[in-house]
Structures are given as structure tokens and as C-alpha cells.
Amino acid sequence: MIGSGGVRGRLPASALLSRALRSTRTAAAVVAVLAAGALGWLWYRGSSFVRIERVTVTGLAGPAVPQIRDALTVAALRMTTLDVSPARLEAAVVRYPYVQSVAVTASGAHSVVIHVAEQVPLAFVQDGAHRAVVDANGRLLAASAVVHLRLPVLELASAPVGGAISAAGARAALAVLAAAPYPVIPHIANATWSAAHGVIVQLRNGPQLYFGPDTEPQRKWRSALVLLQSKAAAGASYIVVTDPVHPAAGAGVSPSQAAALGLATTAPGG
């Protein structure tokens, strides 16, 4: 004898089919909604609603700053803030071997900040007949990084060990060179260090600059460049900027020397 409960527990075939159809329609609807959402997202992330319109580039300090900034800006303006490609940005500056990497941060719907990490050639380091290239951190660079660059020479008592400069005097000279505006670097013949005068920078067509210790190097460079552009420096063979507030010229640069350095020959405002 079959119990009545067993009969009631079974669903007719038509009911099962109806339920299956409803499940299929629901799944299809969900898939359609997800597909529409994905297509909508793809459309939105490439649309003018998030198109990049403003680009800020930071971290540049070496040669070709305007060219690198322009290349990155042009590449970024072809993107949106939701579809930024660091690989495409790096490809835009691949011709500059001292650019190590770029990082991008969105700032609102239409702006990005691109930070460039550079390994900028700063000087030739030389011990005897051996010469290499070094960056501001004292790391030795590949020769390809200095194509067509004119760099100062930093004399070393011995070859660097471990791929980097470690001697205190050489590090102090590098710190002073790194603080110089990069357009000035090609006009520097060499940088040395002595116990008596600290860091000494010799300009190619100008006087020696006595920096003393490598403290406040940016202030000292500003002071030196202002003095080089003034009449007070005319004819000087050396300039002392150990105290950046009170620089002193010890004999001056001629107008021809100042012109060779790309500097003005009159005092600011005069």
C-alpha cells in the first residue's frame, strides 16, 4: 500500500519543466545583465567622461627634461584615468636610457600625476687611466647612459668597489654636483675635495668655486650663480660660497667667460 504522503511529495513533469525554464531564464537574464555591465564598463573607461586632460610630471632633474615631459604628456593625453598604461608611457621615453621607470596616480576624473624615476649621469669618475660614469647616488652606470653628454670629472684615489663610490671626499663632491641645476653640469670641468677647502668645483670657462663642506649645496649654488652673474665677479679666479649668505669673489669672470657659461654679465635688475 502506498502512503498518501509519497504521492504528495512528487511534482508533475510539467511543473519540473516549468521550474527548469524559469531557472534557465533567470540565469540568462543574469548573464545578460553582467555582459551589459561589462560592456558598459569597457565603454565608460575609454570614454570622454574620464579622458585625461591634465598631466603633471614629477621627478625629472637630468638632461632633456622638456623632451621627456612632453613625450609623457602626449602619451598620457591619449589615455583615460581608468585605462592608464605604464608600459605605453615607458615606451614613450625608451630613447632616454637614464629613465628607469614611471608610476602613475590618477587625480580626479581628468588628471594624472606621473612620477619618473631616473638614474641621471652626473660625472665621470677616474682612477688613473680607468674612467666610468656615476650617478648622484654614487652608482656606476652603463656607458650607453652618457651618449653625447658632457660631464665633469671626479678624480679617485682608487677604483670604486662594489659598483658604487664610497670614499667620503668623493661622496661630498658628488653631493655638490647633484645640487647644481643640470644645465650647469656640462660647464663644470671637474670637482675635487680637500681638507683645507672642502669641495672645489672648477668651471670650464670660469673660476673655481669653493663650497667648503657639502652642507646646504642648493643654497650655495644659488649664491654662486647670482654672484657669477654680477659685476662683482668680473675677473675673479675663484668664488667662495662656504657661507651662502655672504659669497666672496677673489678676482672675477670676464664677460666672455660668463657668456661661455651661458650666464648674464650684469647684476640682476641692472
The pLDDT profile of the chain, 270 residues, written as one tens digit per residue, is 444 444 455 656 655 556 555 666 666 555 555 555 555 544 445 556 668 889 999 998 888 889 999 999 999 998 888 878 889 999 999 988 888 899 998 888 888 899 998 888 899 887 776 778 888 888 888 655 555 678 999 888 777 777 888 889 999 999 999 999 988 999 999 999 988 889 999 999 888 999 999 999 999 999 999 998 888 777 788 899 999 999 888 764 455 554 554 444 433 333
Domain with CATH 3.40.50 in the chain: 121-260
Go through the chain and tell me how many residues it has: 270
- Assigned CATH for 121-260: 3.40.50
C-alpha cell read off for 235: 675677473
**DSSP letter, residue 185:** G
CB 96 within 8 A of CB 117: no
CB 28 within 8 A of CB 83: no
CATH architecture entry for 50-118 = Roll (3.10)
Please give the pLDDT value at position 115: 94
Which residue in this structure is represented by grid cell 621615453?
A: 93
Please give the pLDDT value at position 180: 93
Domain with CATH 3.10.20.310 in the chain: 50-118
Rounded CA-CA distance 223/241 in Å is 7
Rounded CA-CA distance 244/220 in Å is 5
